[in-house]
């Protein structure tokens, strides 16, 4: 193969896909295409529209670097530097949890409960800012307080809030769940508390795919023994902040609906919770209304 032929998308992709497949990646084709597109400053569609373009040497170097990292199972989103979440392009990288498609269900429920009227929403453990920003963008009258304990994650959230021009309506607070919210005059006034807290049972962390376990921040995943440590603290603290009739929405893991339903009802602050299933049919979102 001549040097010229090897620096065109077709042959480059064929080699790259083979390499990623041998590395055990089920998404070899789309990963290779996205990495090449990113190296060229275009999109996957752009690659197809210009199949005969020459890949310049600097883009080729970049592509090879990214390919090496992907072959070591670094998350694709960290390599390209962003993930799409509900149509938003969010910046992500090492140190922040990558937004997941199942969390779009959490946002969908939140939007169903929040009309576009002045209202207050709190996002606990905002990570990249995905949930807080999806709400703020879709509901221009709503103010959002986004809490995050990890300084690294907050840096990504700050970049995303600024990048989307949402600094006026999404306030980022440093803290571990409720502590940082005191002193903002929010007690008894919040219309919606939403959270996708860490909920993988500590004893199951070792079973996570290596791609997640070895690269994403474990503090965004580790829900303590049994996995419900954060959900408990959120259920305990939410009544003080929610207004009567306000809602709590929590993303939950497989098998967590029954114990969390009991916990939510035990405190008497909430009506019987409702659970929403994700696409694969797992009860994924707890919705509880403050009495
Ligand atoms: N759904 C995520 C995963 O499986 C876990 C999210 C969380 O702990 N909040 O990677």
Length of the chain (residues): 291
Tell me the C-alpha distance between 247 and 288, whole Å: 6
Ligand 1 centroid distance, CA of 291 (Å): 29
- Identify the residue whose C-alpha is closest to ligand 1 atom 7: 198
Please report which helix (H) or strand (E) contains residue 122, including its range.
strand 119-124
pLDDT of residue 267: 87
pTM for this model (two decimals): 0.93
Ligand 1 centroid distance, CA of 153 (Å): 15
Which residues contact ligand 1 via a Cβ below 6 A?
Answer: 100, 102, 196-200, 212, 221, 251
The full DSSP string for 255-289 is T-HHHHHHHHHHTSSBPPPEEEE-TTS-EEEEEEE
List pLDDT tens digits, range 182-213: 999 999 999 999 999 999 999 999 999 989 99
Comparing C-alpha atoms, which of 166, 121, 117, 115 is closest to residue 143? Answer: 121
Q: Which two tokens stand for residue 168?
A: 């006026």
Say if residues 102 and 284 touch (Cβ distance below 8 Å): yes
CATH of the domain at 50: 1.10.8
Q: Is 5 a residue whose pLDDT tops 60? A: no
pLDDT, average across residues 266-291: 96
Ligand 1 centroid distance, CA of 220 (Å): 8
Which of 92, 97, 223, 234 to probe ligand 1 with, by most ligand atoms within 8 A of CB? Answer: 97
pLDDT of residue 277: 97
Please report which helix (H) or strand (E) contains residue 19, including its range.
helix 9-22
Q: Is 220 a residue whose pLDDT tops 60? A: yes
Ligand 1 centroid distance, CA of 199 (Å): 7
Q: Do both 235 and 278 map to the same domain?
A: yes
Which of 126, 196, 214 to probe ligand 1 with, by most ligand atoms within 8 A of CB? Answer: 196
Q: Is 2 a residue whose pLDDT tops 90? A: no
- With tokens 């996570």, the residue in question is 208
Q: Do both 66 and 102 map to the same domain?
A: no
pLDDT of residue 290: 98
Say if residues 199 and 79 touch (Cβ distance below 8 Å): no
Q: Is 3 a residue whose pLDDT tops 80? A: no
pLDDT of residue 6: 61
Containing structural domain, residue 49: 5-72
pLDDT of residue 133: 98
Q: Which two tokens stand for residue 252?
A: 């939950």
Helix axes 103-113 and 130-138, enclosed angle (nearest 10): 40
List pLDDT tens digits, range 14-40: 999 999 999 999 999 999 999 999 999
- Looking at ligand 1, which atom is closest to the CA of residue 103? 1
Q: Do both 148 and 211 map to the same domain?
A: yes
- Identify the residue whose C-alpha is closest to ligand 1 atom 5: 221
Q: Do both 58 and 100 map to the same domain?
A: no
Tell me the C-alpha distance between 228 and 5, whole Å: 55
Comparing C-alpha atoms, which of 203, 224, 291, 286 is closest to residue 249? Answer: 286
pLDDT, average across residues 55-79: 97
Q: What is the mean pLDDT of the chain?
A: 96
Q: Do both 145 and 266 map to the same domain?
A: yes
| Number of structural domains found in the chain | 2
Q: Which two tokens stand for residue 246?
A: 């306000």
In this prediction, residue 71 has a pLDDT band, given cuts at 50, 70 and 90, of very high
Indicate whether 280 belongs to any domain.
yes
Say if residues 109 and 118 touch (Cβ distance below 8 Å): no
């Amino acid at each position: 193969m001549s040097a010229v032929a090897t620096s065109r998308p077709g042959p480059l992709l064929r080699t790259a896909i083979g390499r990623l497949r041998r590395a055990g990646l089920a998404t070899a084709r789309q990963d290779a295409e996205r990495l090449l597109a990113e190296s060229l400053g275009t999109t996957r569609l752009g690659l197809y529209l210009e199949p005969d373009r020459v890949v310049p040497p600097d883009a080729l170097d970049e592509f090879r670097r990214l390919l090496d990292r992907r072959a070591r199972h670094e998350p694709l989103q960290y390599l390209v530097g962003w993930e799409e979440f509900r149509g938003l392009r969010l910046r992500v990288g090492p140190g922040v949890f990558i937004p997941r498609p199942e969390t779009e269900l959490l946002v969908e429920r939140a939007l169903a409960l929040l009309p576009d009227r002045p209202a207050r929403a709190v996002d606990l453990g905002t990570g990249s800012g995905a949930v807080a920003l999806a709400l703020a963008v879709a509901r221009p009258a709503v103010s959002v307080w986004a809490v995050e304990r990890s300084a690294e994650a907050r840096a990504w959230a700050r970049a995303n809030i600024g990048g989307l021009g949402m600094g006026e309506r999404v306030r980022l607070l440093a803290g571990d769940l409720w502590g940082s919210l005191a002193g903002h005059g929010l007690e008894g006034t919040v219309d919606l508390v939403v959270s996708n807290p860490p909920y993988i049972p500590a004893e199951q962390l070792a079973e996570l795919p290596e791609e997640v376990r070895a690269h994403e921040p474990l503090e965004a995943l580790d829900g303590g023994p049994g996995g419900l440590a954060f959900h408990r603290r959120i259920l305990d603290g939410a009544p003080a902040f929610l207004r009567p009739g306000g809602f709590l929405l929590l993303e939950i893991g497989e098998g967590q609906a029954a114990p969390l339903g009991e916990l939510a009802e035990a405190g008497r602050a909430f009506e019987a919770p409702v659970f929403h299933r994700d696409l694969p049919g797992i009860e994924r979102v707890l919705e509880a209304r403050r009495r």
